[in-house]
Amino acid sequence: MGRSRKKGNPVNGWLVLDKPEGITSTQALSKARYLLNAKKAGHAGTLDPSATGILPLAFGEGTKTIPYCQDAEKTYQFTVKWGSATNTDDAEGEIIQASEKRPTKDELLKVMQRYVGQIEQVPPQFSAIKIDGQRAYALARKGEEVEISARSVIVYELNLLSFSEDQAMFECQCSKGTYIRSLARDMGEDLGCFGHIIQLRRTAVGLFDEKSAISLDKLEQMLETAPIEDVLLPVEAPLDDIPALVLTDSEAARLKNGQSVALFSKDGQNRLQCAGLDPKTADNTVLVRTVRKPVALAHVKGVEVSPVRILNL
């Protein structure tokens, strides 16, 4: 018996979802996929169930561009409560340490400086890190304390938005892989007062921000009157910061058949230069398109263009 086909329509594009509190990223994706009746979908960057904010969702051919969104910088706003640490490093967990000490604003500003730039941090015990093939949170729920190795991440900016005796609100711009819960935990330990996240919101993932985000309720309302094409962003939406190279229809056809294209001609080299690529030294990932539509993600080496991921649009 042959495999049954996945249900749904071949929907292509991106949706910038404003994830609500209380559901997992997978649940949010499933709901959006159901509303769009999409055959294929994926999300770029998990948010904790208690967190809200930007969760980019890719559909159809858009899923081929997920890695370019996952690798993007992210921005968060979060509030830390001082005086206690929890086993989850947020308000969902049990208090495991407590202190009567509270930081002064000057003490906090001084400690914050240690967390800008490339830093080492240990992910939370309750995280999706895999330990011997199992998720850390699954082991933690069984009461097992596992050793998680520190990893290098980059905090580009860490700003204090508000401060009171018992809590502080921050904004952080950081690299992929950064755990904001770990950041709060570690600052609390450095301050000698402990601390955990009580509010977390992601406000940007790469080029996607709150301006283009919609809620699940809003999505459902929009789909009652608007076609799907008007609701979704294009497949190439997260690729605006990589060069776009225009090929002719015949060159694009060769690329889509898995063949490399050499742009030796004067016109070809002009097109490389228009894309910001030097025909003599180019070594870049590019979005290849014709005048009408995106064709593929490709690698340019000198004047040779080789396919990486074909976009079937």
pLDDT greater at residue 88 or residue 132:
88
- The segment(s) of the chain belonging to CATH 3.30.2350.10 are 13-72+207-237, 75-197
Neighbours of 273 (CB within 10 A): 12
Regarding beta strands 167-174 and 195-205, do their DSSP bridges make them parallel or antiparallel, or are they unpaired?
Answer: unpaired
- The segment(s) of the chain belonging to CATH 2.30.130.60 are 242-310
Query: In which order are the strands placed within the sheet that holds 261-262?
Result: 244-246, 283-289, 294-301, 304-310, 261-262
Read off the pLDDT band of 3 (50, 70, 90). very low
Segment 72-123, tens digit of pLDDT: 999 999 999 999 999 889 998 899 999 999 999 999 999 999 999 999 998 8
Residue 20 has pLDDT above 50, yes or no: yes
Is 48 a known active-site residue?
yes
Segment 21-46, tens digit of pLDDT: 999 999 999 999 999 999 999 999 88
Q: Which of 18, 48, 89, 186 is catalytic?
A: 48
pLDDT for residue 7: 79
Q: Which CATH architecture has domain 75-197?
A: 2-Layer Sandwich (3.30)
Q: Which CATH architecture has domain 242-310?
A: Roll (2.30)
For 13-72+207-237, CATH gives 3.30.2350.10
Q: What is the amino acid identity at position 181?
A: R
Residue 237 has pLDDT above 90, yes or no: yes
pTM score, whole prediction: 0.89
Regarding beta strands 261-262 and 304-310, do their DSSP bridges make them parallel or antiparallel, or are they unpaired?
Answer: antiparallel
